[in-house]
């Protein structure tokens, strides 16, 4: 491969690590598996942002929507929802669920780094558990993506593994992932790392996800960090 530009370089680095589509298609094949987020509850922090009206119904893009549990909640709350995932299996499951709930969502099966949307921009971009599965060099593409598709004054949220948490969250140096040719099940993030990475955005909140064993209507896991930023 002849590297001619940044994108060629990112693709070269991608090729050193696992190709994600096959992995996620296999992951979503069996819907009965005991995976915490194979459920129909929306994330606890998302519910709070909507109930407190921090985020008001408008155009929202969900990145890595999985089975659609958060996209469906947002559609039920009156948002105009576009939801993207690179796994066909996940998107088919999400479409089924949206039909059952009788909500209208634009689902797109695509890797976000190949995505070309006609949209003039979204008021809110939501990511629950996708960012921590991206390789270090793709953080650069990710921030470009957010800047491209988020309107000025728009919000975006991430929920990610904390470092060395119960469910994952590797805390190696960025260099080590390429040496090992593995993301070790997902990268862990601290409040400080997220503040550095998203320093061009206004921090609204960064906190631990609330563990919601007792709340049957919301989803929350320990050892996750959730954050809300605003594009200024």
Ligand X SMILES: C[S@@+](CC[C@H](N)C(=O)[O-])C[C@H]1O[C@@H](n2cnc3c(N)ncnc32)[C@H](O)[C@@H]1O
Among 47, 85, 94, 154, binds ligand X (CB under 6 A): 85
Question: Which of 188, 224, 229, 187 has its CA nearest to residue 209?
Answer: 224
Please report, as residue ranges, which positions from 128 to 167 form the binding site for ligand X (by CB under 6 A).
Answer: 128-130, 133
Q: Is 111 in the site for ligand X (CB under 6 A)?
A: yes
Q: Is there binding between residue 94 and ligand X (CB under 6 A)?
A: no
| CB 138, CB 10: distance < 8 Å | yes
Please, which residue, 24 or 201, has the CB nearer to ligand X?
24
Identify which of residues 161 and 198 has a Cβ nearer to ligand X in the complex: 161
Task: Give the binding range for ligand X (CB under 6 A) out of 84-92, 94-102, 164-172, 199-207.
Answer: 84-92
89 binds ligand X (CB under 6 A): no
Judged by CB under 6 A, does residue 112 bind ligand X? yes
Contact criterion met (CB below 8 Å) for 156 and 146? yes
Task: Give me the residues paired with residue 107 across strands.
Answer: 83
Nearer Cβ to ligand X, position 90 or 150? 90
Give the 3-state secondary structure percentages of the chain, helix then strand then coil, rounded to 5: 35, 25, 45
Name which position in 42, 44, 45, 69 contacts ligand X (CB under 6 A). 69
Stretch that binds ligand X, among 48-56, 65-73, 200-208, 210-218 (CB under 6 A): 65-73
DSSP H or E run through 196: helix 191-197
| Beta carbon of residue 218, minimum distance to ligand X (angstroms, whole number) | 13
How many Å from the N-terminal Cα to the C-terminal Cα in the chain?
38
Does residue number 59 form part of the binding site for ligand X (CB under 6 A)?
no
d(CA 155, CA 66): 21
Site residues (CB under 6 A) for ligand X, limited to 160-219 = none
In order, the DSSP letters of 132-195 are GGS-TTHHHHHHHHHHHHEEEEEEEEEEEEBTT-SS--B---HHHHHHHT--TTSB-B-HHHHH
Query: Where does this chain bind ligand X (CB under 6 A)?
Result: 20, 24, 37, 64-67, 69, 84-87, 90, 111-113, 128-130, 133
């Amino acid at each position: 491969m002849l590297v001619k530009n940044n994108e060629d370089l990112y693709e070269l680095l991608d090729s050193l690590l696992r190709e994600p589509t096959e992995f996620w298609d296999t992951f979503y094949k069996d819907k009965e598996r005991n995976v915490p987020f194979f459920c129909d509850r929306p994330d606890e922090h998302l519910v709070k942002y909507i109930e407190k009206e921090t985020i008001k119904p408008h155009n929202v893009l969900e990145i890595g929507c999985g089975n659609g549990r958060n996209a469906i909640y947002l559609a039920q709350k009156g948002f105009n929802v576009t939801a993207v995932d690179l796994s066909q299996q996940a998107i088919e499951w999400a479409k089924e669920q949206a039909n059952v709930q009788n909500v209208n969502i634009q689902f797109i099966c695509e890797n976000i780094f190949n995505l070309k949307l006609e949209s003039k921009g979204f008021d809110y971009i939501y990511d629950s558990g996708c960012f921590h599965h991206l390789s270090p060099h793709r953080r650069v593409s990710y921030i470009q993506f957010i800047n491209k598709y988020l309107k000025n004054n728009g919000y975006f949220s991430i929920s990610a593994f904390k470092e060395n948490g119960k469910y994952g969250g590797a805390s190696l140096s960025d260099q080590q992932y390429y040496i090992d040719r593995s993301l070790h099940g997902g990268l862990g993030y601290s409040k400080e790392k997220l503040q550095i990475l998203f320093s061009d955005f206004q921090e609204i909140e960064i906190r631990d996800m609330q563990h919601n064993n007792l709340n049957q209507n919301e989803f929350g896991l320990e050892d996750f960090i959730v954050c809300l930023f605003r594009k200024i």
